[in-house]
Copies of this chain bind each other. A is one copy, B any other.
Amino acid sequence: MTGSTDKGSSRRRFLGNVAGALGGAMVTEAQIAVAATAPRQEPGRGLVAGRVEPFFGTHQAGIATPMQSHLYFAVFDIVTDQRGAVEALLRRWTEASAWLTAGRPLENEASADQIPLDSAEAEGLEPARLTLTFGFGPGLFVKDGVDRFGLAAQRPAALVDMPKFNGDQLIVERTGGDLCVQACADHPQVAMHAARHLARIGAGVVQLRWVQAGFSADNPHKKGETARNLMGFKDGTVNPDPRDAAGMAQHVWVGEDGGWMKGVAYLVARPIRIAIERWDRMKLGFQEQVVGRHKASGAPLGGVHEFEPARLDAIDADGNYIIPENSHIRLAAAETNGGARIFRRAYSYDNGLAHIAERWPPWRQGLLMDAGLMFLAWQRDPRSGFIPVFENMAKFDMMNQFVTHVGSGLFACPPGAQPGGFIGDTLFARLILPN
């Protein structure tokens, strides 16, 4: 492998900066090796026009971005007490993300005596519209009552401790976390490779806490159709249109009043198990009553076309609502929730089999498919978004017979980075005290 003098010097310069930021004592061999990542000099290598989602921008990519086919969602605990180490990691994650999303592998050293910078399993694959979207959990600001990094005063009021919802069966190992990254791509190995790389360069600073891979039923040959979830229903018909900037500003992005949070979006991340075997034994009419939509067409009950508005006030000859009172779409509807809307980007997941006890009669227990929906929903304030909407649904939604929230995380996803900046710089720039 040939390297120009420029490349060598820029790599050394970068390494020097990172080593300085980290402080000598805490720099491990692996961190140095990875920090030494430098851009490839061959212009355009690995780049395929049209399959790259830009990493830098006003907002982070991966929120308003059209959904990719695969997800790898990773949540980390911060295991250092050094704020400088966290900041340095965010800088490295930013730089790595810019290269990964461009489809350029992180450069491998030529020498057999060095640890490769890139694990290489995505070598030869294309950018696959990879996006990497970072979020800050409450633990970045305050953990167990301790202001670990001098950030407590910057904790957004909207980054609440999530209430306990009716029916929640949260597993500790799938709940919480200080930092998260949503990796999405049109190839599963591209998404996993990116998350693996980010975890690796975080060694000593963060530790993986929980992860969830997922996939969508998106038809690559019929883009634009609403994908079906593992209940067999179209899922996302009334999702806000991410191309509607005004709607996104109203529901998703924190506005001018947000201080460092301007441009933040709050992410609720919940793996929701679906009792597939049980659902499959339900009659079609009952399934449709539960959801409030026709299974084949996706139309709201009483309607014909998927995208026609749900007529929540329509009644049948007996005076009953055609879309039942406890149906999923009625309880989720903006009309039912004072106009509150959340923006979802959900993926189906499959975790194989697990010994599971069902929540509802006949309380079947056994080796069942451990599959469901990785629910990812963004909003400008969960206190007026997910929390009130789901509080109501958690109590009354007929679908609760078949779905169980088994994990939960709430994250403030900071604004997008600009070239030269880094993810979270609006937060860290507000800190004037050394740590």
Chain A residues within CB distance 8 Å of chain B: 30, 48, 72, 108-109, 111-116, 118-126, 173, 187-189, 192, 196, 199-200, 207-213, 215-217, 219-222, 225, 228-233, 276-277, 279-288, 295-296, 348, 350-353, 367, 369, 371
A200: nearest chain-B partner, CB-CB: B280
> Could you list some 17 contacts between A and B, CB below 8 A?
A108-B295, A111-B285, A112-B286, A112-B288, A115-B281, A115-B282, A116-B280, A116-B295, A121-B229, A121-B230, A121-B348, A124-B217, A124-B219, A124-B228, A192-B371, A207-B367, A213-B350
- Within 8 Å by CB of A280, from B119, B216, B229, lies B119
In the bound assembly, the distance between CA atoms of A121 and B277 in angstroms comes to 14
Given contacts A114-B284, A200-B277, contact A189 B215 (CB under 8 A): yes
- Within 8 Å by CB of A121, from B209, B220, B228, B281, lies B228
- Within 8 Å by CB of A353, from B122, B210, B284, lies B210
Other than A113-B285, A189-B217, give 12 A-B pairs with Cβ distance below 8 A: A111-B284, A115-B284, A119-B232, A120-B295, A121-B230, A124-B217, A124-B225, A187-B220, A196-B369, A209-B367, A213-B350, A351-B351
Given contacts A112-B284, A219-B126, A284-B114, contact A121 B352 (CB under 8 A): no
- How many copies of this chain does the complex contain? 2
What's the nearest-Cβ distance from chain B to residue A216, in Å?
8
Contact A228 B120, beta carbon cutoff 8 Å = yes
- Within 8 Å by CB of A284, from B109, B207, B286, lies B109
Q: In the assembled complex, which residues on chain B have CB atoms less than 8 Å from the CB atom of A211?
A: 352-353, 369
Contact A217 B125, beta carbon cutoff 8 Å = yes
In the bound assembly, the distance between CA atoms of A412 and B215 in angstroms comes to 32
Contact A232 B123, beta carbon cutoff 8 Å = yes
In the bound assembly, the distance between CA atoms of A82 and B122 in angstroms comes to 49
A217: nearest chain-B partner, CB-CB: B189
Q: In the assembled complex, which residues on chain B have CB atoms less than 8 Å from the CB atom of A369?
A: 196, 199, 208, 211
A220: nearest chain-B partner, CB-CB: B187
Contact A283 B112, beta carbon cutoff 8 Å = yes
In the bound assembly, the distance between CA atoms of A122 and B216 in angstroms comes to 11
Q: In the assembled complex, which residues on chain B have CB atoms less than 8 Å from the CB atom of A221?
A: 48, 126
In the bound assembly, the distance between CA atoms of A215 and B296 in angstroms comes to 29
Contact B352 A116, beta carbon cutoff 8 Å = no
In the bound assembly, the distance between CA atoms of A295 and B112 in angstroms comes to 10
Contact B229 A113, beta carbon cutoff 8 Å = no
- Within 8 Å by CB of A123, from B113, B124, B188, B228, lies B228
Q: In the assembled complex, which residues on chain B have CB atoms less than 8 Å from the CB atom of A115?
A: 280-284
Q: In the assembled complex, which residues on chain B have CB atoms less than 8 Å from the CB atom of A287?
A: 116
A77: nearest chain-B partner, CB-CB: B367
